[in-house]
Amino acid sequence: MTVTCFLPCRKGSERVPRKNIRPIAEKPFGLLQIKLEQLLAARLIDKVVLSTNDEDIIEYALTLDSPKLDIRLRDDTLSSSSTSTDELIEYAGSQIEEGHILWTHVTSPFLTAALYDEVIERYFRELKNGHDSLMTVSELRGFVWDESGPITYDRNVEKWPRTQTLAPLYEINSGVFLAPFSIYKQKADRIGERPYKYVVDKIQGFDIDWEEDFLIAEAMLTAGISDI
């Protein structure tokens, strides 16, 4: 039943400079500070493995002096912009060899400690219901088209149906991936064949990927739109 969080946090960011530790909304160590406070406060997370090659990140993390925090120096060869997610998944599987692995990112600042606990509780319930893993998703109900036309509705039936009646699509928002460590070992993946889709709202699933995302998140935090 042990849950270990894997938190990848590499040095440098091409799209948002110093994204991980850039000050935000009165948090001097930024998204990293927010995320470590959340993860260390989550009662169902037993250990947090902070995987980084950034000296500044390590220096800050050491000041927390938490028995739950395990700082792992990652080689630069696995910390570049060219490092694939598949390579990092294989690496995570070599670092955690028991229990269950919760993979998350500092770029999801609105996933709170309470929400992490709720996700973990649901994960263990869904394991008993035939699922083998969990991932957080954002629900899409809208007029979505591809090159050939609409894919969420049939214009031959109704040209503009009410969006709330449309069958949902699910976008993986990379907030949480949760699976037994055996899936990492056997499948080299962070989800299994039957992942449970845990729907979070737009704010909870908000991901910071671009400079404008950072500014929007800072505005939401400053305005107190969501708790962290």
Q: Tell me the DSSP string of 117-169.
A: HHHHHHHHHHHTTT--EEEEEEEE-S--EETTEESSS-TTT-SS--GGGSPPE
Residue with tokens 């039936």: 157
Please provide residue 190's backbone torsions phi and psi, each rounded to the nearest 5 degrees: -105, 0
Contact 205, 138 (CB under 8 A): yes
Considering the domain boundaries, does residue 167 fall inside one? no
- 206 in any annotated domain: yes
User: How many domains does one find in the chain?
Assistant: 1
Any idea which of 7-16, 65-74, 117-126, 170-179 has the lowest mean pLDDT?
7-16
Written as one string, the DSSP assignment of 79-103 is: SSTT--HHHHHHHHHHH--SSEEEE
26 has a pLDDT exceeding 80: yes
> Is the model's pLDDT at 37 over the cut of 90?
yes
69-73 vs 149-150, strand pairing mode: unpaired
The answer to whether the pTM exceeds 0.85 is yes
Within a domain: 164:
no
Per-residue pLDDT band for 6 (boundaries 50, 70, 90) equals very high
pLDDT at 14 over 80: no
121 domain residue, yes or no: yes
- Looking at the domain assignment, is residue 219 inside a domain? yes
* Residue 194 CB partners (closer than 8 Å, separation 6+): 130, 131, 132, 133
**pLDDT at residue 125 is higher than 90:** yes
Region 115-130 average pLDDT? 98
Banded model confidence at residue 169, pLDDT cuts 50, 70, 90: very high
Indicate which CATH number applies to the domain containing 204.
Answer: 3.90.550.10
Does the residue 155 lie in any domain? no
Does residue 176 belong to any structural domain of this protein? yes
> What local confidence, expressed as pLDDT, does residue 82 receive?
82
Average model confidence (pLDDT) across the chain:
95
Query: Degrees (nearest 5) of the Cα angle 112, 124, 52?
Result: 50
Is the pLDDT at 13 greater than 90? The verdict is no
Tell me which residue range forms the domain holding 102: 3-137+172-223
pLDDT given for residue 76 in this prediction: 81
Is the pLDDT confidence value at 227 over 90? no
Does pLDDT of 12 surpass 80?
Answer: no
pLDDT in tens, 57-78: 999 999 998 999 999 999 888 8
- Residues in contact with 89: Cβ distance below 8 Å, sequence separation at least 6, in sequence order: 184, 188, 189, 190
- Asked whether residue 78 is domain-assigned, the answer is yes
What pLDDT score was predicted for residue 150?
A: 95
